[in-house]
Amino acid sequence: MHSDVWIAGGGVICGIGNNLSECLTAFKHMEPGMAHMEYLHSIHRHTFPVVEVKAANETLAGWTGMSAKLSRTALLSRVAAEEAWQSTGLGDIRQYRVGFVSANTVGGMDKTEDFFADYLQDPSQGHLSQVVHHECGAITELVADAMGIRHHISTISTACSSGANALMYGARLIKNNLVDVVIAGGTDALTRFTLNGFNTLMILDQAACRPFDDTRTGLNLGEGAGYVVLVSDALAAEMPVGKTPWCRLSGYANANDAYHQTASSPDGTGNFLAMQGAMEMSGIKPEDISYINLHGTGTQNNDVAEGSAIARLFAPHYPPASSTKSFTGHTLGASGGIEAVFSAWAVKEGIIYPNANFSKQMKELPFAPETRFSTGNKIQHVMSNSFGFGGNCSSLVFSKSAQS
């Protein structure tokens, strides 16, 4: 088995930028992406702010060479996956054993919703081509075909931990020498189904979300895609001149406390076990973590659970922590992939991201999130948390190489 899995590059598109560079500018200038809906058509347009990618499907299709009639979920995936691959400088993707492990939760539901709008008015109306890519795996296959990936294609759908679990699965493929490189992460587009579902749960905020703030009242939904390129030891050593891996994926763990269909256990049992397991795999202690990219959705339950688990694991010294969802919104199946890109880049560049809209520390917790963007920090290990419905909790640890 390979001893290390490396992050050779990454790509992201979300509501604060169409690529990683634009996202970093938004963080630096404290520009969260919450706004009224422009591309999603909903009766809640002026009620709930969302964080949409600032591009129509026709624009995304032009960037990718794919059809604008395809699901937005696939178009977003293609943009980020292509940026991730190009960032590595590895050249022709066909010369490697490549896997594509992509997470999502909505599949092609955006197009299915368009179909039913016509169909319910008249059962003889609606184009069946709109529903053919409805299921989650179809989105992965569309993008894999567009990129010429053939060796291994898998789809992960475990709610909000999906993107992080894609990285875990991709790392195992490399460690077991089934492939040399894996593009791993997630994608999700906004749909009326998810917006209405979260509204039914009564966890949407009508203002900009405030993760880990005592005044928080819910989350803002977002959309986007994020992928990292995982490579083996051998491929990491053969990267082109001028290209070096960002960092290592040194640890990961998944735990499920099965407390509730949607809520986390109040004391964050699954959260605690996932973070603890990821650090054990990395061979590090809590005091070695330099920064935590929090799951941080902004709901009452999630922030208390995650914060309580962090207090239990890290007390009495807490590393800097923040939720990038305060900028991107909660991108569901894409969140673990998007935040993996941000976390890996944080290791490479010594970045700590700010927590937007924070004003008052939670009374239940002994720590508060970071509120300032900073670079040049001495960062050795970054933890990224993704905790999903049903108690499916995952944590990743990104680490500098021993030579850094």
pLDDT digits (tens, 9 = 90+) for 133-171: 999 999 999 999 999 999 999 999 999 999 999 999 999
Name the 3-class secondary structure at 269.
helix
Domain ranges, residue 196 = 5-238
Q: Has 317 been annotated as catalytic?
A: no
Judge if 300 and 368 occupy the same domain.
yes
Catalytic residue among 160, 209, 247, 393: 160
Q: Which tokens sit at 157?
A: 């759908």
- Provide the CATH number for the domain around residue 371: 3.40.47.10
Interatomic CA distance for residues 41 and 355, integer angstroms: 29
Catalytic residue among 14, 295, 381, 393: 295
CB pairs under 8 A, 24+ apart, for 239-245? 239/8, 239/88, 239/89, 239/90, 240/89, 240/90, 240/91, 242/89, 243/8, 243/9, 243/88, 243/89, 245/6, 245/7, 245/8, 245/401
Residue 360 φ then ψ, to 5°: -140, 125
Give, as one character, the DSSP assignment of residue 361.
Answer: B
Q: Has 160 been annotated as catalytic?
A: yes
Residue 243 domain flag? no
Closest CA to 193 of 109, 299, 114: 109
> What's the mean pLDDT in 56-85?
97
Judge if 95 and 117 occupy the same domain.
yes
Judge if 178 and 55 occupy the same domain.
yes
Residue 404's pLDDT band (boundaries 50, 70, 90)? very low
Q: One-letter amino acid identity for 196?
A: N
Could you please report the per-residue DSSP string of 337-353? Answer: HHHHHHHHHHHHHT-B-
Q: How high does pLDDT run on average in the chain?
A: 95
CA-only gyration radius of the chain, Å: 20
Judge if 337 and 259 occupy the same domain.
yes
For 41, 313, 401, the CA distances from 183, given in Å and listed in that order, are: 32, 31, 20
Residue 128's pLDDT band (boundaries 50, 70, 90)? confident
Q: Is 402 exposed, middle or buried (0-12, 13-18, 19+ CB in 10 A)?
A: exposed
Question: Which residue shows structure tokens 């269909």?
Answer: 261
Q: Is 68 exposed, middle or buried (0-12, 13-18, 19+ CB in 10 A)?
A: middle
Q: Has 134 been annotated as catalytic?
A: no
pLDDT above 90 covers what percent of the chain?
A: 89
Q: Which of 182, 215, 238 is at the close of a domain? A: 238
Judge if 162 and 185 occupy the same domain.
yes
Residue 244 domain flag? no
Judge if 182 and 218 occupy the same domain.
yes
Q: Which of 208, 238, 268 is at the close of a domain? A: 238
> What's the mean pLDDT in 344-371?
97
> What's the mean pLDDT in 101-124?
92
Judge if 234 and 256 occupy the same domain.
no
* Predicted confidence (pLDDT) at residue 117 exceeds the cutoff of 80: yes
Interatomic CA distance for residues 313 and 149, integer angstroms: 40
Q: Pick 267 or 32 by higher pLDDT.
A: 32
Catalytic residue among 23, 209, 330, 381: 330
